[in-house]
Amino acid sequence: MQDFNTQYNFYLNQTEILMNELIPSSGMEDINEPFRYIMSGGGKKIRPVLTLMCCGAMGSDPIKALHAACSIEILHNFTLVHDDIMDKSPMRRGKPTIHNKWDEATAILTGDIMVGYAYKALEHYHTHERCGEIYSTLTRGLIDVCEGQVMDMRFNTNRNVSISDYLIMIEKKTSKILETCALMGGLVGYGSDWDLSLLSSYAINLGLAFQIQDDVLDLTADETEFGKHIGQDIIEGKKTYLILTAKERVKSDSDRELLRNFFSNNGLPEEEVPAMREMMVRLNIIDEATTVAQSYFEKAKDIIGKLNLNTHVEMLKMLAESLNKRSK
């Protein structure tokens, strides 16, 4: 695991070096300053490193996928900027969100220009044999994640969301952006159709696991490490895996009343979060959701193991293992 961490941090460092070159350092500061602000927000930057690993898993030099890695990280952060506006989230990664620190108009325009810079980074591949596929993969990922956000917003006013509905939504909103990383890395590395199909399935399962795990962490993580208020999903009325499982399982009148208030008011006040957490623990929902997330992580590892073994295929397995153990 030490070698994995060393290599991970090397790729992270290389990504940050190029990112600093790609992000405008001067010019229209009204937009460039919040652009730099969101991109310097820390985090593990799983998506760009995943892109590099998937290129390496094809037997190619991972650094060749560096521009693709930066492109997808910019695109991912664009989605966060706009999601935070729609969710009215005050914090992101332990810092005020852009619309909170500046205003909504600035946040919207910052997100818009970030999409442009995401595509601009791909100009690096204009002579690559699979240039068109690389561009179309990013486009497909952008469409999927926006469709996922539309579904998420619909859930706000729909009291009849099922767990299967939820899994479809998070596949679009979370898994598809990871699939975009994997496919872009695979394309830069000249992966075969078979290789790309395995990378796609690996990333989809990784994303499902990651999001369900995130639902759990919203109620169980250390707030300082997590970078946002614990129970924020409950406060915002998010129909998470935990909530939808609870809806199917509750039996007592007090539990039904708590959930009825959640659905009727599209969320609960902060002081009700401990009661919701107690119910989730008592009904074994948190443990069950953790087990479901682990099963997706294991499936991702099994799928990627079908690739021809090399150092980066092993790293992709270890990435799934490390994410399975994350606490933030």
CATH classification at residue 98: 1.10.600.10
Please tell me the distance from the alpha carbon of residue 304 to that of residue 302, in angstroms, as a whole number.
6
Give the per-residue pLDDT at 228. Answer: 62
The sign one gets for the Cα dihedral 291, 292, 293, 296 is: positive
Q: Is the pTM higher than 0.75?
A: yes
For the chain, 328 residues long, give each residue's pLDDT as a single digit of tens: 679 999 999 999 999 999 999 998 888 899 999 999 999 977 779 999 999 999 999 999 999 999 999 999 999 999 999 999 998 888 888 899 999 999 999 999 999 999 999 999 999 999 999 999 999 999 999 999 999 999 999 998 898 999 999 999 999 999 999 999 999 999 999 999 999 999 999 999 999 999 999 999 999 987 666 556 789 999 989 999 999 999 999 999 999 999 999 999 999 999 999 999 999 999 999 999 999 999 999 999 999 999 999 999 999 999 999 999 887 7
Strands (E), the chain: 91-92, 95-96
DSSP-H helix ranges across 58-175: 66-87, 98-101, 104-121, 131-155, 163-170
Domain that holds residue 119: 2-324
Phi first, then psi: what are they for 111, rounded to 5°? -60, -40
State the pLDDT at residue 109.
Answer: 97
- The number of domains in the chain is 1
- Please classify residue 325 by burial: count the beta carbons closer than 10 Å to its beta carbon, then call 0-12 exposed, 13-18 middle and 19+ buried: exposed
Give the integer Cα–Cα distance in Å for 235 and 245. Answer: 18
In whole angstroms, give the CA distance from residue 161 to residue 174: 18
> Residue 103 in 3-state DSSP?
coil
The residues with which 95 forms a beta bridge, in sequence order, are 92
Q: How many CB atoms lie within 10 A of CB 114?
A: 24
Q: Environment class of residue 103 by beta-carbon count within 10 Å: exposed (0-12), middle (13-18) or buried (19+)?
A: exposed
- For residue 92, the cross-strand partners are 95
Q: What is the pLDDT of residue 108?
A: 97
All residues at 6 or more sequence positions from 49 whose CB lies less than 8 Å from its CB, including other chains: 8, 11, 12, 15, 69, 319
